[in-house]
Structure 1
Amino acid sequence: MSLSRIKNGTIYDPANGVNGEVCDLWIQDGKIIARPPNADSFTGKTLDATGYVVMPGGIDMHCHIAGPKVNAGRKMTPELKRNAPPIYRSDHTRSGTGGVVPSTFATGYLFASIGYTTAMDAAIPGLHARHAHEELQDTPILDKGFYLLFGNNHFVMKHLRNQDQNALDAYCAWLLESAKGYTIKIVNPGGVEDWKQISRKTIKELDSPVQNFGVTPRQIVRGLAGTADRLQLPHSVHIHCNNLGIPGNWETTLNTMESLEGHRGHLAHVQFHSYDGDPNDPASFSSATQKLVDYVNTHENITVDVGHINPGTTLSMTGDTPFSQFLHNINRNKWYTADCELESSCGVIPIEYRPQKSLINAVQWAIALEWYLLMEDPWRVIMTSDHPNGGAFYHYPEIIYLLMDRSFRLEFLSRMPEAIRERSVLADLEREYSLYEIAIITRAAPARVLGMKDKGHLGVGAHADITIYAPQQNRQEMFERPRWVYKDGQQVVVDGEIQAHAFGKTYYTSPDFDQEFLPHIESWFNDNYSIRFRNYQIDSQEIPQAEEITCQLDLR
């Protein structure tokens, strides 16, 4: 690719400590390079970004854009697509459907149109990995990948029960390599397995044993967190705690954090796990954010993404089927559920958030903002909506505006039930985010937490994923429609409209593991389930654009 330049942009690049400095960016072969020797006499392709805000491309590190539950959600909610603006085929795009769960092509276009260039699917069962890869390969512009579900895996629990650390590490390494997953994901550890097997009841306490296995959720979290660290995975174990959505669940969340015992851990959509109150009294529902923030602020091994909610109708889709059943029992909406043999389960159900009328929804909305505003270190709190669970990703610009403008935040809060002020400290928080901090929580921090050294910054060697905004007082309007977006040095968006069609890369980890354990794993599986692992293995040749991140496993 020929040399090109973005000239005189106002750069916000927190990973390199650049806070609003005016300078040039140089691009060649899809990467950002150092200022070339011929810079003073350069007459090639130049974009004048004078007066514009320049940031790395956005990164959504926790969303649901592929896999069986996403497809189930697309099929069961045609009414959510009928009123969504369609995406028509053009010289640069293919047609697609929008709504809260867009089609594959529309997903890539809509992410790019708000300046995002990377998205990671948060929960894929190993047995469904092949088709998830096919969907991701059909999602344009974005670089992507997925986290692999382990928290209710039979082999994981049996190795933990047997206290066989080497076999656990080797099994996780093998499955990540075979399925081309990025890291270890835990959803309601042990609780989903109990729900599948024991009269549709889930585990409520972190130290309650999983039926038929005798291990506890605490042991699963601690064991898999240790495996992730021993495998030196680029991203820590990614945790969806037990008791999601239940009043009083903040204690479960705190216990889960403590169960890490110093290992790295990332807590997903933490808003849904930050509730105070009595589980048997919904009227007691209130925020417990401060109690959890106090712990996270003093434990640098923990990072979180928020999972904020947005007003309106969306779709809950989760590997936490007991929670889907809980929602169904409350709102009696249509409900889809499916089990995945030895690994996981999923539930899909439409849901509507009405914070202007519902006090519970208002508290949920406030809790998300509390997490951003109370955390001392913005590098450890990341913007997500658990798309589409809290709302579609294209609502991020509104959240940015709420964080950057307290007057807008208070005006929004004034439309909600008055009792919200007794159950949340949001009204008292005066902090306003800067553009630099927004660049952290939407770009630099997710890249750092994911261990992606070529993402989330604008330094030499980074992918030339660049978003350029026209400054506006109304930050929502500013972030809704970037002036230009570059993906790997190619201009793909102009004034919010797709201008070029390309496909990004798939990221996955490839941990090294001692081959002496492979016969043990295969024999174990064959003896118990009469299925050969190798019949399932994904050949990397089928994923020509995958980018491997190699990890080392120390089995000493």
Structure 2
Amino acid sequence: MTDYIKIAGGTIHDPANDVDGATRDIWISDGKIVAPPEDASVKPNRTIDAQGLVVMPGGIDMHCHIAGPKVNTARKMRPEEKRASEVVHRTTNTRSGTMGSVPSTFATGYKYAGLGYTTAFDAAILPLGARHAHEEFDDTPCIDKGFYVLMGNNHYVMKSIAENEPQKLKAFIGWLLKSTKGFAPKLVNPGGVEVWKQKQAGNVHGLDSEVDHFNVTPRQIVSQVTQAANELGLPHPVHIHCNNLGMPGNWETTLETMKALNGHKGHLTHIQFHSYGGGDADENTFNSKVTQLAEYVNTHDNITVDVGQVLFGETTSMTGDGPLGYFLSNVYGGKWYSGDTEMEAGCGITPIKYKNKSLVHALQWAIGLEWYLQVEDPWRVVMSTDHPNGGSFLAYPQIIRYLMDRQYRKDVIKTCHPRVKDRCTLGDIEREYTLNEIAIITRAGPARILGLKNKGHLAPGADADITVYTPHENKETMFELPRLVIKDGEIIVDQGDMRDPRNGKTLHVLPEYDTGVETDIQAWFEEYYSIQWRNYPVDDSYLHRSEVVAGR
């Protein structure tokens, strides 16, 4: 006999199925949402009374940094945070963990679930660090997880492009994703990290700068990886961290990157950090260029973005963009870590602090909010803080309040540097988000962009990942403490109390590609790498619970 759970009488926000505030019941069986039994005499084994409560799919964070070598290094870099921050204590249902800007694995899973999030994707895992990432995923409870694989500075990628071998490039992308059990290709400062590794303080400065020794440009890397990934039919074809992140005047590079997609589907990440006007490091020229970039996004439906919202306070910057890490360390002083991974990627980590009285920091905060409010279609802009780079994922309820309460954000503008209102349009924007639009940018939108057909909605067949909120006039209060969080059909959080810290699934892809190219990849690999070819791919034993996500 089938067991059922019914969520009865909730106010449903399920934008993927055009449900905006309707009162409906949701039936659950065997971890999935199902249609109500045809036999009206069948009763649920358990009924959850949701009258007067708001019901949404579980949240999806499509861009964060929660696992892998760089995250573990950042944890070790910040012992002063661990000493001063909140501690997650061991209980009958939880293990102990530490917080700070880079929480420990257990704390990360508990806190995401506590916000009503049930899925998160790490945005930058180097292939040689894939095993480490999978081990940490297995240590991170409550949420489903996946990661994007760094390849924008991979030597074989640039070699294939330089030799005009698109089939080799496509096969290598497929092989790399299969070998790492990853989800999507990630391009970070394409070509620029390799120049940084070759030259002291080196970098590329535009899409047409040439990468020494490879004779390729960032434009070629972006265009050809994007085309190859789209041809592979990946659920999320490419995730792009543009060149010149954080530099005044970088909006022109961002616009050129959008054009370099050549109409193919592509996602530009932490777009706030790539939307700056100005011609030098002088803050007197620093300004917002969101209007110009958002106009392009609004007229080109192949492009999606997440924001990378900055919040005021102390955090830790960690990035696969090695030269950026060095630049930030010079700006903020103090600790700095730089990593160089053979043939693949780099890394930079440094503590930072965003101050509302700093013109640059206040503009970064405002520019992020401008992106949410100037992209006309909420299905193509996603909530993120680039955790922890712009701030913690724990700030998502505060961002929701900014978007739903224009008076609140105008009050905050008044506390910022006095010139910020003259360098951006935020103070003039009257738009306020609806609950349904919040459900889009935190749930339905990222699910669609990632090609997750079983997530981000509440129709039969979907994973029974559901969050129930108590309505409140202050939307930050409403979203920071859900009434219930349901994962795989079971209550895992009840009014902030962790009830069932079950482990989630690892989501990955297994694309089809020309396996005949593996002979060439192996010959190159064995000539240049310091590890053996057979030891590189991640064994299936590292995936304790997993799900292969089919392509488009």
TM-score range, shorter chain: over 0.9
- The separation in 2 between residues aligned to 1:222 and 1:15, in whole angstroms, is 30
| Aligned twin of 1:342 | 343
- The separation in 2 between residues aligned to 1:442 and 1:134, in whole angstroms, is 27
- The equivalences for 1:59-74 within 5 A come to 59-74=60-75
Counterpart secondary structure, 1:203: coil
| Aligned twin of 1:314 | 315
Could you tell me whether the CA contact under 8 Å between 1:512 and 1:551 is conserved in 2? no
Could you tell me whether the CA contact under 8 Å between 2:93 and 2:498 is conserved in 1? yes
| Aligned twin of 2:437 | 437
Deviation of 1:375 (Å): 0.7
Could you tell me whether the CA contact under 8 Å between 1:159 and 1:167 is conserved in 2? yes
TM, length-normalised to structure 1:
0.98
1:224 aligns with 2:225: yes
1:514 aligns with 2:532: no
Deviation of 1:529 (Å): 4.1
1:499 aligns with 2:499: yes
| Aligned twin of 1:89 | 90
Show structure 1 runs of 5+ residues with no match. none
* 404-413 vs 181-190, greater mean Cα deviation: 404-413
| Aligned twin of 1:146 | 147
Could you tell me whether the CA contact under 8 Å between 2:190 and 2:222 is conserved in 1? yes
Deviation of 1:530 (Å): 6.8
| Aligned twin of 1:387 | 387
CA displacement 1:282-339 (0-9 Å, x = unmatched): 3211100001000000000000000001111000000011111111111212111111
| Aligned twin of 2:117 | 116
* 312-321 vs 408-417, greater mean Cα deviation: 408-417
1:480 aligns with 2:480: yes
Deviation of 1:528 (Å): 4.0
- The equivalences for 1:194-209 within 5 A come to 194-209=195-210
| Aligned twin of 1:279 | 280
- The separation in 2 between residues aligned to 1:89 and 1:349, in whole angstroms, is 30
User: One-letter code of the match for 1:275?
Assistant: Y
- The separation in 2 between residues aligned to 1:524 and 1:244, in whole angstroms, is 32
Counterpart secondary structure, 1:278: coil
User: One-letter code of the match for 1:243?
Assistant: N
- The equivalences for 1:102-501 within 5 A come to 102-355=103-356, 357-501=357-501
Could you tell me whether the CA contact under 8 Å between 1:382 and 1:442 is conserved in 2? yes
Counterpart secondary structure, 1:367: helix
Deviation of 1:499 (Å): 1.2
1:537 aligns with 2:504: no
- The separation in 1 between residues aligned to 2:102 and 2:514, in whole angstroms, is 41
Deviation of 1:485 (Å): 0.3
- The separation in 2 between residues aligned to 1:539 and 1:472, in whole angstroms, is 47
Deviation of 1:39 (Å): 4.2
CA displacement 1:252-295 (0-9 Å, x = unmatched): 00011111111111000000000001124232111000010000
User: One-letter code of the match for 2:162?
Assistant: R
- The separation in 1 between residues aligned to 2:52 and 2:278, in whole angstroms, is 49
Counterpart secondary structure, 2:510: strand
CA displacement 1:143-179 (0-9 Å, x = unmatched): 0010000000000000000000111111111110011
- The separation in 1 between residues aligned to 2:459 and 2:42, in whole angstroms, is 22
Q: How many residues align?
A: 551
Deviation of 1:503 (Å): 0.4
User: One-letter code of the match for 1:339?
Assistant: D
TM, length-normalised to structure 2:
0.98
CA displacement 1:341-362 (0-9 Å, x = unmatched): 110011110000012x111111
Could you tell me whether the CA contact under 8 Å between 2:444 and 2:457 is conserved in 1? yes
Deviation of 1:82 (Å): 2.3
User: One-letter code of the match for 1:177?
Assistant: K
CA displacement 1:360-408 (0-9 Å, x = unmatched): 1110000011001111100000000000000000110000001001111
* 530-539 vs 278-287, greater mean Cα deviation: 530-539
- The separation in 2 between residues aligned to 1:526 and 1:271, in whole angstroms, is 40
Distance 1:493 1:419, change over 3 A: same
Counterpart secondary structure, 1:102: coil
Counterpart secondary structure, 1:184: strand
Show structure 2 runs of 5+ residues with no match. none
- The separation in 2 between residues aligned to 1:358 and 1:330, in whole angstroms, is 13
- The separation in 2 between residues aligned to 1:530 and 1:335, in whole angstroms, is 26
- The separation in 1 between residues aligned to 2:461 and 2:42, in whole angstroms, is 23
User: One-letter code of the match for 1:361?
Assistant: H
User: One-letter code of the match for 1:345?
Assistant: G
Counterpart secondary structure, 1:303: strand
- The separation in 1 between residues aligned to 2:370 and 2:486, in whole angstroms, is 33
Deviation of 1:508 (Å): 0.6
- The separation in 2 between residues aligned to 1:526 and 1:450, in whole angstroms, is 34
User: One-letter code of the match for 1:317?
Assistant: M
Aligned-residue CA RMSD (Å) = 1.2
CA displacement 1:183-237 (0-9 Å, x = unmatched): 0000000000000112221000210110110000000000110111011100021
